[in-house]
A and B are shown apart, each in its own frame.
Chain A
Amino acid sequence: MSNEVTVVLQDRKTGQRRNYTINVNNNENILELTKSVEKITKIPSEELEVVFCGKKLSKSTIMKDLSLTPATQIMLLRPNSVVKTATSSSKFQTTDSSILGSFYVWCKSCDDVRRGKLRVYCQNCESTSVLVKAEPQNWMDVLKSKRIPVTCENCCRPGLYAEFKFKCLTCNDLAAALTHVRGNWQMAECCICDGKEKIIFDLGCNHISCQSCFKDYLLSTLQEFHFKNRPPYGFTVSCVYPECNRVVQDVHHFHVMGQSSYSEYQRKATERLIAIDDEGVTCPNPSCGQSFFWEPYDDDGRSQCPDCFYTFCRKCTERDCVCQSEDDLTRTTIEATTRRCPKCNVATERNGGCAHIHCTSCGMDWCFKCVTEWKEECQWDHWFN
């Protein structure tokens, strides 16, 4: 199978930069690519260095391992003075397998978990003509900015850093990295269904589950919104394994629930977040219900919903404020029947059971009688009221 690729030639000897479109066979290696370039440019192939994804490629790298598409650019560098490539490139030489990677992404276009590929760009000019000065060692190195320094052959500025992007191996669109998804290389059993699937979810604790069980687990968590607020990750779930406290660190994993459930998750998580924030409010218009933050400055106690433009008093939630009048029964009732969680401040009603409250919003265990953390004293003295 052959493929057209765009080759950008940076000739330092002559100071020229040229683009070529070259037909390559997927089973050819890099040496053969440089030979093809030699035919067109008459530059001896041994003077050419091939740079891709921030690395100098070894001459034996097979083209198909680079997962090229017609949009991919490969840079060929002809250095000023020819040094034997074997010694000059050794500094950046690594195994080429890390370019393809064995990681997975959430691809919006495919609407599924897919194998991903990592691409490297210059953070300043977005060119792919970059060479990394250090290998990324972990997820943070590629997810956070300004971790991996590069030299860029395009803009040549000092102090540059790499910008990493993830793409779907199937459709080549940009995609979100899924750090908790990996290949099941030990062919271990899912701890929920005992099945042995190729792609598994692992929150870093080795308690693995297959995609279908993980999806069911998320959907059942969504049903009564048992997602817990765990800053800095936001509303998330812990590992399926009992007593394991590892949590999903990136909400992109929740996409496996499907689009409508993911939207429901986002809406409910926003509502919860706003409910526990002093500057958050939910629109009382029955046909709206949008949650939003109000501007604390220049405040007269009234807010306008950014979605439906309904204006209301935040205290009594009425269009025409009734805070001063005597028919403010709802407010009084709520104040009288609820107590606020000592950690997240959410209004909590106790409609039965013991005084031990487990907050469904933040997960705090507190005593409805003392309105403080649940202590041994509460266990003995406040249980039966």
Chain B
Amino acid sequence: MASQLPRRIIKETQRLLADPVPGISANPDESNARYFHVMIAGPDDSPFAGGVFKLELFLPEEYPMAAPKVRFMTKIYHPNIDKLGRICLDILKDKWSPALQIRTVLLSIQALLSAPNPEDPLATDVAEQWKTNEAEAIKTAKQWTLSYAQA
């Protein structure tokens, strides 16, 4: 890396490795300390239970003044996550605060898996399905978890 890594990123990384959040792992890339390989286990109380979801997280140059960029690499059927894995989460956009951390972002994403929010959709087709026929939507989500999210 050309520029020196800020102390805050070093401290956050150390803490993520030494004291990981249950059900979440985040490891910095060997060649880029701002790029993290993330795994989130599907929460037990959700249609994603039993799945392991791969994500990528990148800390832009402006971090922590700007939010980290996070994306699902594993295909997932969720009203707030689109085909490209982009996540609709307020704290990743206008509600970002420099007092938030990688840890809090990943916890919020884990919480989003437990509580899909079809009223603030990114994948509009999935959201429509979730609103009109929730049982069917949950069934599809479980199928996708089985097909794509096995470690």
Contacts and interface: CB of A to CB of B under 8 A. Distances in A.
Q: Do A and B bind each other?
A: yes
A241 B94 contact: no
A108 interface: no
Contact of B95 (A207, A220, A242): A242
Given A217-B65, A242-B100, A384-B124, A194 B94 contact: no
Contacts of A194: 7-8, 11
B151 interface: no
B91 interface: yes
A274 B102 CA distance: 40
B99 A379 contact: no
A192 B8 contact: yes
Contacts of B119: 379-380
Contacts of A240: 97-99
Contact of A220 (B11, B65, B100, B121): B65
Interface in B1-19: 6-8, 11
A191 interface: yes
B7 A241 contact: no
B4 to A, nearest CB: 14
A7 to B, nearest CB: 51
Judged by DSSP, the binding face of A is loop
Contacts of A384: 124
Q: How large is the interface on B (under 10, 10 to 19, 20 to 34, 35 or more residues)?
A: 10 to 19
A193 B9 CA distance: 9
A349 interface: no
A360 B98 CA distance: 19
Contacts of B91: 242
A195 interface: yes
A195 to B, nearest CB: 7
Contact of B98 (A192, A358, A380, A383): A192
Contacts of A241: 97, 99
Contacts of B62: 220
Nearest to A360: B94
A213 B100 CA distance: 14
A193 B11 CA distance: 9
Interface in A352-385: 358, 379-380, 383-384
B98 A217 contact: yes
A240 B94 CA distance: 13
Nearest to B128: A384
Interface string B82-125: 00000000010011011110000000000000000001010010
A216 interface: yes
A195 B11 CA distance: 11
B65 A216 contact: yes
A380 B120 CA distance: 10
Interface string A225-246: 0000000000000001110000
Contact of A195 (B7, B65, B66, B124): B7
A216 B61 CA distance: 13
Nearest to A219: B65
A241 B99 CA distance: 5
A240 B96 CA distance: 9
B64 interface: yes
A178 B7 CA distance: 28
Nearest to B94: A358
Contact of A213 (B94, B95, B98): B98
B94 A192 contact: no
Interface of B: 6-8, 11, 62, 64-66, 91, 94-95, 97-100, 119, 121, 124
Interface of A: 191-195, 207, 209, 213, 216-217, 219-220, 240-242, 358, 379-380, 383-384
Given A193-B6, A241-B97, A242-B91, 20 more contacts: A191-B99, A192-B8, A192-B64, A193-B7, A194-B8, A195-B7, A207-B99, A209-B99, A213-B98, A217-B65, A217-B98, A220-B66, A220-B98, A240-B97, A240-B98, A240-B99, A241-B99, A242-B95, A358-B94, A384-B124
